[in-house]
Amino acid sequence: MLHGWNNFFTLAGAAASTLIGLLFVAITLGAGLSGPRAAHGARAFLTPTLIHLGGVLFESLFVLAPWSSAWPLGIVLACCGLTGLVYQIRVIFMQREIDFASPDWLDWTLFSAAPALANAVLIAGAAGLIAEKSFAPYAVAGAIMLLLAAGVFGAWDLTIFLAKSRDKT
């Protein structure tokens, strides 16, 4: 069912792994900015970004594995989507408690709503894989693209935050 999608998932996985590496570079550059507020902010904004990018990487790897049928892949992706959705709900509550950042509507949309929607779409795509529906590859690809976009935005915002914080010290 996913024949012809190898290049897409290879590219998505490569992009996610590259961004994870760059995220670690950004973290290293901001290492001198530690403190209790920064640690709480990292848990609320940095860790979810890393989770989204890691999810894209591993979901792409799962899709590229030579499965005997689409059914086991659907189960694995459904578990990933369900876990990601539960985690994202937890993240939304954690992000609302942060007092040193005041994200605007675009930030909240890309930090909170986009990953939640992506995980819901991933669950639907996984169900489509199990039921052998034609929309399934598009749903899985769309979910992965949305998680990748949320990860890019999160990494960008983190880098901007670290650069501004560095200027103040």
- What digits encode the pLDDT tens for the residues 44-87? 678 889 999 999 999 999 999 998 899 999 999 999 999 999 99
Task: Give the model's confidence band at 118: pLDDT under 50 very low, under 70 low, under 90 confident, else very high.
Answer: very high
Quick one: how far is CA 144 from the chain centroid? 8
- DSSP annotation of 132 reads T
Domain ranges of the chain: 6-168
Phi and psi, residue 34, nearest 5°: -80, 155
Separation of first and last alpha carbons in the chain: 54
CA proximity to 149, closest of 16, 60, 3: 16
Q: What residues have CB less than 8 Å from 144, skipping those under 6 apart?
A: 9, 12, 56, 59, 60, 118, 122
